[in-house]
Chains A and B, each alone.
Chain A
């Protein structure tokens, strides 16, 4: 393995209260990398983070930090620091003393502490807040104090557990940019946990998609989006139409009763596959020019585009288009060969990617759901 690996998790398994949370997980994290663990509630991402921080000991497997096994090293001796889900600021200390906490433990001199706290406060744009009471701060300000407190002790790695989950949308967007800036400026490793795919894609160097205690895919945001490995990833990251198909030969796929060109190869002849087509890659064309034909069953205005659901031989496609179509219209659709992604069948096949029972509300609800309760994640 390369020397660049700062942290390695090898064959990690964890059970909590009789429930297996992580199953034989393997992951390495490079120095100075912004890596995001992404997945729905209960997928094991927070547990992974707690193993790295040292709050949880894996039942099996090794945690390696800079070539040393650290399974038995307690959290206070690890060079990683955490931004907790609800910040976990010390309510009995003011802003200054919160940030100075770790430095005082290290028995730094008074001047050193003062300088460092001042530096941290300016880093997070909270100059002049030294004497303020924690409870008098807004959510965003508390968030900044938590960041300053963790960074004050010069960690090699910063762990962030859904740090923006409690903030409103606008503030969240601002903090995303700010966090990314801080990470690049300080040049330290960020391990970020979120269930928000947009956040993951926009901030990370590497995204780790998890579900059911198992890593589904690791890759750059672009890879993850363009080349999802299975139906779960395809559905969790953005919107996807996932259609049953087969591969009669390399570079040719067959679905909806027809054959189409594609860019994938290496499958057995006539191997059943999942075909993924992103809604924005589908063009609406006049009926006679379409490679497939269908009837519009619903139209939703989304601002930048319309989201229309089209019934093609009983399968409901989602299409994003800037042209208005009326419900009941018969239209043709067209997809470029490079927009047709072929995935091997997995246990997720058939579970996702059909919009026949599609509703916006379900999406919204799952967005709001808080991540993984208290420590069981």
Chain B
């Protein structure tokens, strides 16, 4: 509350132009919708390429308008509400998953000049502004809160359908998303440690100075591990393959959205793919310097930022599609094992090691010694954990034998 008040006091109200803000909102909204349209097409096309198929190729050039055609079709479909559904929650749920998906993107800086210590502001149309809808000082917390809220959409959709498969899907969803949220948050903490801020703009700015133009990016500075954990946890958070147990078609029909049709179904679909785009953008912001990148010619000016940003996001979109085409779905217990027994301890251990490095910088310790000791501690902790798990399993088997003969 105090921080909020300080933020409001510091806020420069003279520069606050509601019309300009509205224009930015509409722009972000449109860009996001178009990118979702593109993403669905991209995913279908790349997956079909990876499976030696042709993919959509009828609507528009290379089938690019396929998503639009599907969207229009969904508009005209019959909208069904199951008899056993909780009608209010059933209708609320799609919006609960769509609105957070939209809000999440508002904190992402999508362009701007971050080189040479600039703060990313751009002068255009007589306005000086940053290429992001808002830059709240607790920006990344907003992201965490919104991705947490998105779970409610999935959970309530399954629960309110009044049908068994959606319910199973949503039970899986809540368990999966909550457990991976922990690993996600812990790997994020490492980013806060290095940038010293929760504001996306400042996180990008902190990554801007480093050797070779890209040396300051968090993915290198934090030693890859937090990034890998974030990538895996965000795949699980997005319910994308190989973590798509929520909508495992072979077992649960469609999962949480089985009972949805028409526009409500398309809202879930929209939210899901929007989350993929947003999560890629967040990942780029946190670990890959956002719009920051080497500038080769001065003529493009601030557009370099936009170019780099789009390129980096594209790489991650491709990665998510690649995951989907390559990896088989995890079993439910494997999913929980990976989250609780590997990702969370590893994220925690790595975070502690980065913290020790930070302290060591102030105290003048040898950083290599700190890393070596840190790795030994992590390895020892991992061995202890593995031993404990094995011991528990042996105990369980013995008690099973005693009980059931």
On whether the two chains bind one another, the answer is no
Q: What is the interface of chain B, defined by CB distance below 8 A to chain A?
A: none
Q: What is the interface of chain A, defined by CB distance below 8 A to chain B?
A: none
